């Protein structure tokens, strides 16, 4: 889109900036109020994706003894010197050593032992000839290759040595970590707790998901999208009943949520006659840090606490709530779980559209990002209205326009905040 008429224009109806806080300042204000929770002991199979709260030292060598890296014959490399396809050597087989069995005999001159992968190397042997380079002949074996000292042997402690630090505290546990912990005999371990997050939507216009909404009513979708976002970053969502537009009901619902580690409400934080959330936060919370952030979507956002429990008062529009969650709630919940990397990845992309906006606001524009060769390409999802939830369904990124930016030219570079890891995956192979 190149014509002036086709530009996405947010200049109209700019609200006054009274008490508005910049995004960066809001984020810093929020994050200083969050620290990692305590530790809990979990079974190994429940530890993937968690942050470990203890240093793991190896109680033993891995492997515990020198063992064969493949099926073949344990030999003295001196006995194979000069062996080749036309100059084979013949050795006497004195023993068969399967995996899990300990060798009973020493390997002497011109002797060998049949050995399986993982089996302990017998005394006297210093190499393994792979089976493919041999031919068995009764109780002898013909060797067609010479061996170097240590060839095809996995030495004791080669992977991990006793007393070695294997997994440091605060590591994010991936499947490889789980396998290593199993190898070390750790059936349970200490990890940082998952925060319990109470989620409450407010508004007389909301109805249950099981209700066919009559005119003037809408289904409470925010609780479900926010619950999914909470779960996606590893926390535990607790969906509460809808709070109606009455101070007494809000107070009741907020107090019920105090058994959680974090409270999220959506709606009721704007300037309407029935937007009571910020008032209730200030009255019973006694910790109202800010209200209104210089961003779109998501301007009417409040942050405070009730009896020490952090509370995010998110906007009621579905897109505003989800974008606000991404910028402020998600990094807070990750920090509570001990994560060090708490922000979404950003990439530089080529934008195929033009935009205009007023200075003073940071804008997050829903976009579809794809990779073409070595470049990222970004196109918008269309209508950027804060109530257009479909725009979040199709988006995998947010184009970020800074507070002082007023125009993006077509085919110029933009910063895009990625919303998932879809760009790291390839399409299924078509066979």
pLDDT at 77 (0 to 100): 96
Question: Which residue spans of the chain are classified as CATH 3.90.105.10?
Answer: 39-59+166-192
**Residue 430 burial (CB < 10 Å; 0-12/13-18/19+)?**
exposed
pLDDT at 68 (0 to 100): 97
pLDDT at 270 (0 to 100): 57
Q: Measured between alpha carbons, how far is residue 9 from residues 83, 151, 366, 380, 400 in Å?
A: 80, 70, 15, 14, 15
pLDDT at 287 (0 to 100): 73
Q: Which residues of the chain have pLDDT under 70?
A: 1-18, 269-279, 281-286, 429-431
Question: Among positive and negative, which fits the CA dihedral 226, 227, 233, 238?
Answer: positive
In angstroms, the CA 157 to CA 166 distance is 12
CATH superfamily of 346-424: MoeA, C-terminal, domain IV (2.40.340.10)
Question: Which residue spans of the chain are classified as CATH 2.170.190.11?
Answer: 67-154
Phi then psi for residue 31, to 5 deg, are -65, -30
pLDDT at 249 (0 to 100): 85
pLDDT at 11 (0 to 100): 38
State pTM to two decimals.
0.86
CATH superfamily of 67-154: Molybdopterin biosynthesis moea protein, domain 3. (2.170.190.11)
pLDDT at 250 (0 to 100): 83
Q: Which fold has domain 14-38+194-336?
A: Molybdenum Cofactor Biosythetic Enzyme; Chain A (3.40.980)
For the structural domain made of 39-59+166-192, what CATH number should be given? 3.90.105.10
């Amino acid at each position: 889109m190149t014509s002036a008429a086709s530009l996405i224009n947010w200049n109209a109806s700019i609200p006054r900036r009274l008490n508005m806080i910049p995004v960066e300042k809001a984020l810093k204000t929020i994050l200083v109020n969050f620290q990692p929770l305590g530790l809990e002991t979990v079974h190994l199979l429940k530890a993937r994706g968690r942050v470990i709260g203890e240093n793991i030292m190896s109680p033993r060598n891995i492997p515990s003894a020198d063992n064969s890296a493949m099926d073949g014959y344990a030999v003295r490399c001196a006995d194979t010197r000069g062996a080749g396809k036309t100059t084979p050597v013949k050795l006497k087989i004195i023993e068969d050593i399967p995996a899990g069995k300990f060798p009973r005999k020493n390997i002497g001159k011109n002797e060998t032992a049949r050995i399986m992968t993982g089996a302990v190397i017998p005394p006297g042997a210093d190499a393994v000839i792979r089976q493919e380079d041999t031919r068995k002949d009764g109780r002898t074996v013909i060797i067609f290759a010479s061996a170097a000292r240590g060839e095809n042997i996995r030495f004791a402690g080669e992977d991990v040595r006793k007393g070695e630090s294997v997994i440091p505290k605060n590591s994010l546990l991936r499947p490889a970590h789980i396998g290593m912990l199993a190898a070390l005999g750790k059936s349970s371990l200490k990890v940082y707790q998952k925060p319990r997050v109470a989620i409450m939507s407010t508004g007389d216009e909301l109805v249950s998901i099981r209700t066919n909404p009559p005119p003037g009513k809408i289904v409470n979708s925010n609780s479900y999208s926010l619950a999914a976002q909470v779960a996606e970053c590893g926390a535990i969502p607790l969906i509460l009943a809808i709070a109606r537009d009455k101070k007494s009901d809000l107070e009741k619902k907020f107090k019920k949520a105090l058994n959680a580690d974090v409270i999220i409400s959506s709606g009721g934080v704007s300037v309407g006659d029935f937007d009571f959330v910020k008032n209730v936060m200030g009255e019973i919370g006694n910790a109202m840090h800010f209200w209104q952030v210089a961003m779109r979507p998501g301007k009417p956002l409040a942050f405070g606490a009730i009896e020490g429990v952090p509370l995010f008062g998110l906007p009621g529009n579905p897109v505003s709530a989800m974008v606000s969650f991404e910028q402020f709630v998600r990094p807070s919940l990750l920090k509570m779980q001990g994560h060090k990397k708490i922000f979404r990845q950003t990439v530089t992309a080529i934008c195929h559209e033009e935009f205009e906006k007023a200075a003073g606001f940071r804008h997050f524009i829903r976009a579809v990002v794809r990779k073409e060769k070595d470049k990222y390409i970004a196109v918008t999802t269309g209508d950027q209205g804060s109530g257009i939830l479909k725009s979040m369904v199709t988006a995998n990124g947010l184009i970020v326009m800074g507070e002082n930016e007023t125009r993006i030219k077509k085919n110029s570079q933009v910063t895009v905040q990625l919303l998932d890891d879809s760009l790291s995956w390839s399409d299924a192979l078509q066979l």
